[in-house]
Amino acid sequence: MKRLTLLGATGSIGRSTLDLVRCHPSDWHLYAVAAARSVDEMVAICREFSPDLAVMTDIAAADQLRQRLADCGCPTQVEGGSEALLPIVTAHEVDTVMAAIVGAAGLLPTMAAVKAGKRVLLANKESLVTSGRLLIDAVASSGAELLPIDSEHNAIFQCLPLAVQQAGGRAHLAAHGIHKILLTGSGGPFRSRPLGELAKVTPDEACRHPNWQMGRKISVDSATMMNKGLEYIEARWLFNTRPHELSVVVHPQSVIHSMVQYCDGSVLAQLGLPDMRTPIAHAMGYPQRIDSGVAPLDFTRVGDLSFGEPDLQRYPCLALAQQACWSGQAACTALNAANEEAVAAFLEGRISYPRIAAVVADVLGLDYGNEPVCLDGVLAVDTMARQAACRLIDRDNHRS
Ligand code: NDP
Ligand code: MG
């Protein structure tokens, strides 16, 4: 029986993970769950799975959950506040942690799970974006295992030789015959929208992804292709790539989830329906294969597959992320922080869609001093970049 702590239990990845636990009740025990403030969803989860512990980072939400569980006789113990995330990921009772909190809020518990030497199923890409070097170094010193959940990185992982899979992000790709990693992305809902119309797109349109059902923040990131940019940085750390070993390919159908090109001309790809239960099942079962409940891919219905180069005029966020990737940790942290603030402002109707990239570009242009070498340094850059982004967003609001 494997024991799981699920961070971000009420989100899109959280729900898919619970589906897998539901499908494999004799293999998995849900030790702890965590979310921010979705009390109704947490009540339902606790009643169904009876985890030992439930954490709500919002204290008032934790109080409500405690009361509601007491009322229905559910034995789950409830804790409140972000500090309460740390014991549920480091507890000796836990062997696997699903890191599926959205945003930089996922960084500290993900790092704590890695330092405690757990098997970490990593959905929270923001923690690698903001602290790639620190996280990969922590994996090496603690002996933790990092298994990618992001569908592209999970696909790449599956296409890599075993020795590279087990190298904890430290393999020399060329020494294993690997020429290049090809990160595929659909191009999102605005791939063929005339550029002049982008100023008018609404949050709901941006969240209507053609192929994937996801949370709202990552859906907007998919429309701007910042998501691919964050994934580019994520891939750089997970697979230890150098600039010429990593490319983005637009593939609108999302049937191929990414590819690895070898020096002999072979290309290995992972294919499947766009359903996150596949990568989650892969990581939960690794190295075995387990049922995910996802239907088999029917090639007679797939239709044509097409590929192209990303248009960086349409997707300036992708270009910004690629530049940040090779300029350093401060730039990646600032990029992520500015993007989180700008996307939240767009979703609340406070800035227009094209302003997301403009805010990120302006914040990236600031001077962040020396490269951060510890988590406190990362958090300081994160705070500075958020403040700068908020000032720009407020200025927009005063103008309009
Ligand atoms: P959702 O927005 O659907 O869910 C976010 C989860 O995080 C919720 O459980 C939410 O709780 C919780 N949460 C938010 N803020 C905090 C906080 N400060 N402290 C504790 N918990 C918090 O996001 P997704 O499931 O879509 O994405 C989760 C992560 O996985 C992201 O990093 C995303 O980039 C990544 N990912 C997602 C994919 C997908 O298909 N959805 C694909 C690949 C990667 P509450 O409900 O209470 O607010
Ligand atoms: Mg992805």
Which distant-in-sequence residues (6+ apart) come within 8 Å of 19 by Cβ? 277, 293
159: three-class secondary structure by DSSP: helix
Closest residue CA from atom 36 of ligand 1: 123
Residue 68: CB within 6 Å of ligand 1? no
Is residue 347 in contact with ligand 1, taking CB distance under 6 Å?
A: no
Minimum CA distance residue for ligand 1 atom 32: 124
Residue 391's pLDDT band (cuts 50, 70, 90) = very high
219 lines ligand 1 (CB under 6 A): no
pLDDT for residue 115 is more than 90: yes
Q: Is the CB of 59 under 6 A from ligand 1?
A: no
What are the pLDDT digits (tens) for 186-206? Answer: 999 999 999 999 999 999 999
How many other C-beta atoms are found inside a 10 Å radius of the C-beta of residue 68?
Answer: 17
Query: Could you tell me which of 46, 48, 38 has the C-alpha nearest to residue 12?
Result: 38
Nearest listed ligand to the Cα of residue 228? 2
Yes or no: say if 122 and 98 are a contact pair by the CB < 8 Å rule.
Answer: no
Instruction: Indicate whether residue 12 lines ligand 1 (CB < 6 A).
Output: yes
The per-residue pLDDT of the chain, averaged, comes to 97
C-alpha span between 41 and 263 (Å, rounded): 49
Distance CA(389)–CA(334), nearest Å, equals 9
Please give the distance, rounded to the nearest whole angstrom, from the Cα atom of residue 13 to the centre of ligand 2: 11
Task: For ligand 1, atom 19, name the residue with the nearest CA.
Answer: 36
Atom number of ligand 1 nearest to Cα 13: 25
Ligand 1 centroid from CA 8, angstroms: 5
Q: Describe the crossing of helices 226-238 and 151-159 by its angle, rounded to 10 degrees.
A: 40
Average pLDDT over residues 297-305: 95
Choose which residue among 5, 6, 12 to substitute to test ligand 1 binding: the one with the highest number of ligand atoms within 8 A of its C-beta: 12
Please state the pTM of the whole predicted model.
0.97
Q: In what order do the strands lie in the sheet with 178-185?
A: 246-250, 178-185, 256-262, 267-271
CA–CA separation, 66 and 390 (whole Å): 35
- Which residue owns the Cα nearest ligand 1 atom 30? 123
pLDDT tens-digit map of 322-376: 999 999 999 999 999 999 999 999 999 999 999 999 999 999 999 999 999 999 9
3 state SS of 40? helix
Pocket test for ligand 1, best of 6, 13, 273 (most atoms within 8 A of CB): 13
Nearest Cα residue to 4 out of 38, 23, 27, 35: 27
**Looking at the predicted structure, is the pLDDT value of residue 400 above 70?**
no
Give the C-alpha separation, 38 to 103, whole Å. Answer: 16
Q: Which of 16, 56, 102 to mutate to test the pocket of ligand 1 (most atoms within 8 A of CB)?
A: 102
Are the C-beta atoms of 56 and 42 separated by less than 8 Å? yes
What number of other Cβ atoms are within 10 A of residue 171's Cβ?
18
Among positive and negative, which fits the CA dihedral 397, 358, 182, 309? positive
pLDDT grade for 392, boundaries at 50, 70 and 90: very high
Mutate-to-test residue for ligand 1 from 88, 149, 214, highest number of ligand atoms within 8 A of CB: 214
